[in-house]
Amino acid sequence: MQRFILRSKNQITAISAILILTAFLSRWTTGGIQVFEWALIIASVIGAAPIAIQAYQALRVKVVSIDVLVTIAVAGAFLIQNYEESAIVTFLFLFGAYLEQRTLNKTRSAIKELTELAPETALKRMEDGEFVEVSVDEVDVGDILLVKTGAKVPVDGTVLSGEGSVNEASITGESIPVAKEPGSKVFAGTILDNGTLQVEADRVGEDTTFGRIIELVEEAQDSKSAAERFIDRFAKYYTPAVLVLGILVWLFSRNLELAITVLVLGCPGALVIGVPVSNVAGIGNGARHGILLKGSEVISDFSRLDTMVFDKTGTLTVGNPSVADTEYYGDNIDEALSYLASIERESDHPLAKAVLEAIGEVKTFAVEGTEVVKGAGIVAEVDGHRAAVGNVALMQRENVALTAKALADIAIFEQNGNSLVLTAVDGELKILMGVRDQIRPGVKEDLQRLRRLGVKNLIMLSGDNQGTVDVVSRELGLTEAHGNMLPEDKAAYIKKLMEEGRIVAFVGDGVNDSPSLALANIGIAMGGGTDVAIETSDVVLMNSDFRRLPHALGLAKATARNMQQNIIIAVGVVLVLLTSLIFSDWMNMSIGMLVHEGSILAVILNGMRLLRYRLRD
């Protein structure tokens, strides 16, 4: 019976509303008191039933909940035959609970949307080579699956054959499709926009990146910050204190209605719900934008940080060297580029790929008599010409004359942090290329946004040489930059900053920087969903997009502010209600309950604003 009544709370609320409306219509139209009173009595009884059951369940576990206060207040009003008050109070309390649940469900919409994206079936290759539709629960690691246009990828896996474009918004928050080909990785829950793929399952079920994202967001939304834990403890003692206050008021005033009104006005509902709703909505907003915030404790620390430390490669820079500057000397440059491409095509040096990408499609020749000069470069015969490709030391060894202009260009290239690739043909310098890891597009503007959000110190730590680090630091306007640092050196530096009293966030790629990610107050992984990134860090930017970082910080600050606003609203309303009760004669139980439920709705709606949060430039 109890379960049936609790399941029918919404229907009871609707019936109660109809009865109250009937009562007042009867009184206003016919003036009949009997219909008025009986309609309110029935509304009071059926409305009090679910509240009383919840109060009983709370008392069984020795908790004096809000339901206990309202049940006592309604019973008292009923005993003094104030049926109007008892009916309206029960209706408002039930209707407030309905609105609270409905709006809370909206704040959890990010989880709902993610869950709905989870694949349920897969086309699995059977022993006879045919593909048969099965439940995703029947897919094991190593199975071969077929994904058709418009279908969800059912597992984390590797493309074996086929090509297509996959919408990875459920993982990265980025809606631009990503091209896939044999050897590419795909993730469960993403959608194949076009093409057909055969995929080998690497991870299935809850072990997929998508499954872990859902789990992390659920855990984060259910976690409690220090503020929430304090409010829980506060409510645990505050609610019994209100009950004691109501009893004292009755003992000293002998005014039962006044004592009952104190119980209603003192309900801490908005205070209890205000902080969790902000937390849930903020984390939900992050999930929609490809940002995983691991709990409200993370949000609290993140919102207060004053120092942000960055790894260089793959975080502030793209992570792949490319040709940044080029100068040509003399004639027959096209031939020189062909000779350079012919030599670099056979090289396994890290700079060779960058040079070949910069040259593009050109005619190539057979390379003969190759001589590798350790630490300097390569000398070879190409199309009957002697070609030398390497650094300045190789040019000096080959007696290549460097003009004043060439020497000036070399100096400028080095100042810009380039690794030099010089090409000489038959003893004459033809090409000078500067190769460096390019700064991510838009990073400078994003760093300025972080400064405007209150980050005082922007520091870069890198394993690269100090010269290269200084070039990047000057271009980005960083506070400090330190090179030649191993992972353990970075961790030690983070520890030193924290010992100085700074609140530090470390931003890295989640692999070799995992010690620093774990040590910092806030570890932020540009991890693209990698295992180490998700497990070690406090915040994950799922698509490794640096532009998400200012949004993440702005969201954390907005969420922290929202929590404070909700606490002020909740406490302020209770103080105003109790003050009005003492110093005015218009305050009564019905008005108090209406304002009380209004305050709950106010803090919920205030929290829901975070779902639409966007960082303004």
pLDDT band at 200 (very low <50, low <70, confident <90, very high): very high
Judge whether 497 lies within some domain.
no
Q: Tell me which residue of 311, 314, 310, 301 sits closest to 458, measured CA to CA.
A: 310
Start-end of H helices in 453-588: 466-476, 487-499, 514-519, 531-536, 548-583
What's the mean pLDDT in 50-62?
80
Q: How far apart are CA 266 and CA 239, in angstroms?
A: 8
What's the mean pLDDT in 247-270?
76
pLDDT at residue number 455: 94
* 52 against 263, higher pLDDT: 52
Q: Phi, psi (5° rounding) for residue 197?
A: -125, 145
pLDDT at residue number 235: 62
Do the Cβ atoms of 207 and 172 come closer than 8 Å? no
Amino acid at 464: D
Least confident of 77-86, 119-128, 250-259, 424-433: 77-86
Q: Tell me which residue of 82, 3, 10, 9 sits closest to 44, measured CA to CA.
A: 82
Burial tier of 457 (Cβ tally within 10 Å: 0-12, 13-18, 19+): middle
Q: How far apart are CA 582 and CA 400, in angstroms?
A: 97
- Which domain does 327 fall in, by range? 319-438
Side-chain-facing half-sphere of 4: CA atoms under 13 Å: 2
* 1 against 140, higher pLDDT: 140
Percent of the residues in the chain that have a pLDDT greater than 90, as a whole number: 19
pLDDT surpassing 90 at residue 60? no
Question: 11 is written with which tokens?
Answer: 């229907």
Helices 269-288 and 589-608: angle between axes, nearest 10 degrees: 20
* 63 against 221, higher pLDDT: 63
Judge whether 397 lies within some domain.
yes
pLDDT at residue number 506: 92
CA distances to 184, 338, 453 from 588, rounded to whole Å, are: 68, 91, 45
pLDDT at residue number 529: 45
Do the Cβ atoms of 592 and 265 come closer than 8 Å? yes
Judge whether 306 lies within some domain.
no
Q: How far apart are CA 28 and CA 191, in angstroms?
A: 60
Place of tokens 């010269």: 467
pLDDT band at 35 (very low <50, low <70, confident <90, very high): confident
Q: How far apart are CA 217 and CA 222, in angstroms?
A: 9
pLDDT band at 173 (very low <50, low <70, confident <90, very high): very low
Tell me, letter by letter, the H, E, C secondary structure of 297-353. HHHHHHHCCCEEEEEHHHHHEEEEEEEEEEEECCCCHHHHHHHHHHHHCCCCCHHHH
Residues 444-460: tens digit of each pLDDT: 999 999 999 999 999 99
Total domains in the chain come to: 2
Q: How much is the mean pLDDT over the chain?
A: 81
- 113: which residues sit within 8 A by CB, 6+ positions away? 288
β-strand pairing of 522-525 with 419-425: unpaired
Residues 531-566: tens digit of each pLDDT: 555 666 788 887 677 888 999 999 999 998 998 898
Q: Phi, psi (5° rounding) for residue 83?
A: -65, -30
DSSP single-letter state for residue 186: E
Residues 467-479: tens digit of each pLDDT: 778 888 888 999 9
542 three-class SS: coil
Residues 307-355: tens digit of each pLDDT: 999 988 778 887 778 888 899 998 889 999 999 999 988 876 667 888 9
Q: Tell me which residue of 358, 355, 431, 370 sits closest to 395, measured CA to CA.
A: 431
Burial 426-441 (b: 16+ CB within 10 A, else e): eeebbbbbbbbbebbe
Q: Tell me which residue of 217, 162, 172 sits closest to 194, measured CA to CA.
A: 162
DSSP single-letter state for residue 418: P
Do the Cβ atoms of 208 and 190 come closer than 8 Å? no
- Residues noted as catalytic: 311
Q: How far apart are CA 220 and CA 396, in angstroms?
A: 61
Amino acid at 206: E
List the CATH number of the domain containing 165: 2.70.150.10
Q: How far apart are CA 202 and CA 217, in angstroms?
A: 23
Question: 579 is written with which tokens?
Answer: 């003050």
Estimate to the nearest angstrom the gap between the alpha carbon of 278 and the chain centroid: 14
pLDDT at residue number 395: 92
Judge whether 311 lies within some domain.
no
Do the Cβ atoms of 63 and 272 come closer than 8 Å? no
**Would you put residue 151 in left (φ > 0), alpha (ψ -120 to 50) or beta?**
beta
DSSP single-letter state for residue 464: S
pLDDT band at 228 (very low <50, low <70, confident <90, very high): low
Residues 136-158: tens digit of each pLDDT: 888 899 999 999 988 888 888 99
Last residue of a domain, one of 377, 404, 438: 438
Last residue of a domain, one of 409, 438, 467: 438
Q: Phi, psi (5° rounding) for residue 347?
A: -95, 150
pLDDT band at 381 (very low <50, low <70, confident <90, very high): very high
Residues forming beta bridges with residue 387, ordered by sequence position = 380, 425
Judge whether 127 lies within some domain.
yes
Residues forming beta bridges with residue 368, ordered by sequence position = 381
Do the Cβ atoms of 263 and 246 come closer than 8 Å? yes
pLDDT at residue number 558: 93
Do the Cβ atoms of 208 and 196 come closer than 8 Å? no
Burial 262-272 (b: 16+ CB within 10 A, else e): bbbbbbbbbbb
Query: Terminus-to-terminus CA distance in the chain, angstroms?
Result: 56
Judge whether 502 lies within some domain.
no
Least confident of 157-166, 357-366, 462-471: 462-471
Q: Tell me which residue of 109, 70, 492 sits closest to 284, measured CA to CA.
A: 109
Judge whether 364 lies within some domain.
yes
pLDDT at residue number 425: 92
pLDDT at residue number 145: 93
Do the Cβ atoms of 422 and 432 come closer than 8 Å? yes
Q: How far apart are CA 422 and CA 403, in angstroms?
A: 13
Q: Tell me which residue of 305, 298, 299 sits closest to 451, measured CA to CA.
A: 305
List the CATH number of the domain containing 434: 3.40.1110.10
Estimate to the nearest angstrom the gap between the alpha carbon of 18 and the chain centroid: 44
* 238 against 290, higher pLDDT: 290
Place of tokens 């919409």: 109
pLDDT surpassing 60 at residue 103? no
Question: 226 is written with which tokens?
Answer: 């220090």
pLDDT at residue number 146: 93
Last residue of a domain, one of 143, 169, 203: 203
DSSP single-letter state for residue 166: E
Judge whether 227 lies within some domain.
no
- Long-range own/partner contacts, residues 492-501 (CB < 8 A, 24 or more apart): 493/309, 493/461, 494/309, 494/519, 494/520, 495/519, 497/307, 497/309, 497/459
